Structure 1
Amino acid sequence: MKYRLALAAATVGFASMPASAEPVVAQAMAKPVGDRVIAALSRRLFPLFDTIGGDPAALDRVKAKPGVATMLAARAGRRTACAEDVTCIAQALVWTPSETSILAEATPQGISTADDGAAAQARREIEGINVILRTFGLSQVPRYPQIDGPGPIDPLETRARLQAADWLSRTPRAQSVQALDPSMDFALALLDVSDRTDAIGFDPLSGGLNAAAMKRARSLDWKRWRYSAMIVTGVGPETPDTALSPFGKYHVRLAADRFARGDIALIIVTGGRAHPRATRFTEAEQMRAALIERYGVPADAIVIEPYARHTTTNLRNATRFLATLGAPLDRDTLIVCNPGQSEAIASAAFVQRNLTELGYAPGQIGRRVSPTEVEFRPSPLSLRVDPRDPLDP
């Protein structure tokens, strides 16, 4: 608790430190240090601006584009006017629509692999910065308040996190875009000090629990199978000590029974660490363990997708995993889940939910084969990275 009581004093001391206090020789020779956690989070959430940060020439080209220097100067002036008010600073770092347009249009072409181009990806990443600033710094209620955002926290803790994020965003970090604008590093730091680095919790997905299945996938002849994969969706528990929800156990039984027919190449169990808030259990991991231990499904027939927090992203992330595995996206998969969720996935309302939350359909919902089975044809649109959901971009 002492750090909270001393926070104001520490702020003043940091701001008033004389320049002579820094070793002149060390300052001249030192290079910015790299932070492995923040670097991984940056690559995951902001792949376009992370690439620019690692290329000084690209950074200079962005800054030289018409209108950029004036816009960045106005943003810097807005921050300076806040003095040491960290809430004001967080608000000042939020990108306005006009600022977003200027920077997005200044992004070099060919620097992003997004299917809709660099400018569209830049807009998503800038909007992602805004979501993090507002949700984790300015107490805006997220779309799913029961599982997203920082949760209820003490106002002093909120201020401490904002102050730490401000300091961290001003402290040089290797390969960052701090020289352009500090907002991205402020947002990354906010997630870090809030202990919400969920988006990189299982990287790299090709190793660990997925290593055996990844090795097997390289030798698969996908044309041999009726379905390239079975997508087993999650239904998170609502009590903190429950590893696998009642519906989750049902999904596992359904998956084992369906896989035993032998016409599906592999199983993708998908579900993150979402229910209840800050649970220590990851749903995909628990479903995999149950399939192996209770039903004897071979480990090399199962991959975990441990990030999805919603049914929309169950399908989006499963599609991404299929691409990683080298599976053709022009072949059907089979979604297996309880009748209520299956009916919802097959509904017009779910189509609209995807458009509202993702901006596109992660694939084509096909026929409902049975009350617990729906065919699904994945879409390459799912490969777009979208940090507007910073816990699972």
Structure 2
Amino acid sequence: MYYLKHSLVTLLIVFSVFADVADTFAQSTNETVTSVAFPEQIILHKTFNFLEVIDKSDVLKQEVKQNAVLRNLAKQYAGRVEKALTSCKDATCYASALKWSEQEVQTIHKELKGLYSGNSNFRNALTKTLRKESYHHKYKGEIDSTTIRKAWKDTALGLNHILDVYFAGKGARYPAIDSISFDTSDQNFVALIHQSLGSEVKAQDQKALFYKLPMHAALKALELNGRDEAARYEPLLNGYNKKPYQALKGTSWDKYPYSMILVLGHGPEDPAIALDAGGAHYCEVAAQMYKEGVAPFIVVSGGNVHPYKTPYNEAEEMKKYLVGKLGIPDEAVFIEPHARHTTTNLRNVSRMIYRYNIPDHKPVLTLTNPDHSKYTLHISDRCMRELTYLPFRGMTKISDETNAFFPEPEAFRVNPFEPLDP
């Protein structure tokens, strides 16, 4: 996200506003934030959807169990973990034992491809379950062996990346906000890893599923580090986005030049500040645009990003300000509370447009400060570097503070290197 320097006076004014409006907004939305158990199923659904699809199907699980190569690989993997349990003295050692090797990744791909091509039970069940259970709706088109290869590659890369970052303490793309919570030699941390793996490895002979133990390890790595960001606020349609989603049905889209006004996140550097002054300012600009009929909805985008492990969510705080302070109707403001970068601000809102059946032929208007807006106009190279695709098309400058773009279905592809917002 892009940050602005503001005077202390302005920051204090913005911070004090939230003391006045938070209770009012909470009552109007019936939104309650509580401490809950680690949301394993939601994380699995978003991050390892391909493995979840297999695990949800009795047919697929049975075919995987009966495959001698995959069954033997599961046994070898469990043996490697058992050895680690007796020899590892730090978390880095566990990460090395738990990661899939390049050879294992290739072997698994070969067997999955063979099952898909030569086993009609496996092929039919996988195709049916992918289309039914896929969180990202990325399997609406033709499913073939290339689809399987891409899905498996993303899964393997994502699992190894999580273990590298959250057990081994290396490889975070943006360490200032995404890095491990522990020293890798912290013996309390090591003991927790040992305990969680020890109880799971005992069940492997009965399960004989190549993905169970690695998947458990990756989810446990996120849990031990307190990294549940991808699951927070879900399901959005039962919370902050319920009223605006219901309002979509009655929207006369032809009346508006844009489908949404997208306010990009501005995270404060001070952990005591809930809403950055820049974010508050552009909420005010968006509110005026909304009143002038520029778009029927405002969408505020940004996760729990800055500073490291901040308790404040950029999108949530901006919606509080828009509704509680500026008087914009709750049903006119969507939140997108997961994006951690400008690339994913655009990607996640593109996903939202397709999920919510918002017209994709109508452009989205982005709103931010002039420097950030200029940067966003030329963000294609970063998208290709970090996402490997463009989640939008037709990015065009409208003013110094605004650009316009159209969503692209490619946005549904998972980013294996962003487990906090895949």
Corresponding residue number in structure 2 for 1:294: 325
Question: 1:234 and 1:177 mapped to 2: Cα distance?
Answer: 45
Greater relative contact order (Cα < 8 A, sep 6+) = 2
Question: 1:163 and 1:307 mapped to 2: Cα distance?
Answer: 31
Deviation at 1:351, TM superposition (A): 1.0
Picking from 36, 52, 55, the partner of 1:53 is 55
Alignment partner of 1:268 is 2:299: yes
Q: CA RMSD in A?
A: 2.4
Pick closer, same or farther for the CA change 1:219–1:98 going to 2, 3 Å: farther
Picking from 194, 200, 217, the partner of 2:225 is 194
Question: 1:66 and 1:180 mapped to 2: Cα distance?
Answer: 14
Deviation at 1:377, TM superposition (A): 0.8
Picking from 92, 95, 99, the partner of 1:90 is 95
Corresponding residue number in structure 2 for 1:325: 356
Corresponding residue number in structure 1 for 2:153: 123
Corresponding residue number in structure 1 for 2:15: none
Pick closer, same or farther for the CA change 1:161–1:365 going to 2, 3 Å: farther
SS in structure 1 at match of 2:365 = strand
TM-score (norm 2): 0.78
Alignment partner of 1:363 is 2:363: no
Deviation at 1:137, TM superposition (A): 0.6
Structure 1 stretch 308-317 or stretch 85-94: which is displaced more? Answer: 85-94
C-alpha contact 2:38 2:223 (8 A) present in aligned 1? no
Instruction: Render the CA deviation track for 1:239-262: whole Å, top value 9, x for unaligned.
Output: 111101122122212211222220
SS in structure 1 at match of 2:322 = helix
SS in structure 2 at match of 1:146 = helix
Instruction: Render the CA deviation track for 1:309-346: whole Å, top value 9, x for unaligned.
Output: 11111111111111222112232111111111100011
Question: 2:101 and 2:251 mapped to 1: Cα distance?
Answer: 48
TM-score (norm 1): 0.83
Corresponding residue number in structure 2 for 1:378: 407
Identity of aligned residues (%): 28
Question: 1:68 and 1:217 mapped to 2: Cα distance?
Answer: 47
**Structure with the higher helix share, 1 or 2:** 2
Corresponding residue number in structure 1 for 2:7: none
C-alpha contact 1:129 1:388 (8 A) present in aligned 2? no
Structure 1 stretch 217-226 or stretch 49-58: which is displaced more? Answer: 217-226
Pick closer, same or farther for the CA change 1:177–1:146 going to 2, 3 Å: farther
Structure 1 stretch 74-83 or stretch 223-232: which is displaced more? Answer: 74-83
Instruction: Render the CA deviation track for 1:95-128: whole Å, top value 9, x for unaligned.
Output: 1223223323406452435357232122112211
Instruction: Render the CA deviation track for 1:287-309: whole Å, top value 9, x for unaligned.
Output: 01111123221110101111111
SS in structure 2 at match of 1:342 = helix
Letter in 1 for 2:215: M
Name structure 2 gaps, 5 residues minimum.
Answer: 1-36, 117-122, 132-137, 140-145
Letter in 1 for 2:189: T
Question: 1:239 and 1:275 mapped to 2: Cα distance?
Answer: 8
Deviation at 1:152, TM superposition (A): 4.9
Q: How does 1:78-227 map to 2 (within 5 A)?
A: 78-86=80-88, 87=91, 88-105=93-110, 106=112, 108=116, 110=127, 111-113=129-131, 114-115=138-139, 117-153=147-183, 155-167=186-198, 169-170=200-201, 180-227=211-258
Letter in 1 for 2:62: D
Letter in 1 for 2:103: S
C-alpha contact 2:38 2:228 (8 A) present in aligned 1? no
Corresponding residue number in structure 1 for 2:18: none
Question: 2:68 and 2:202 mapped to 1: Cα distance?
Answer: 28
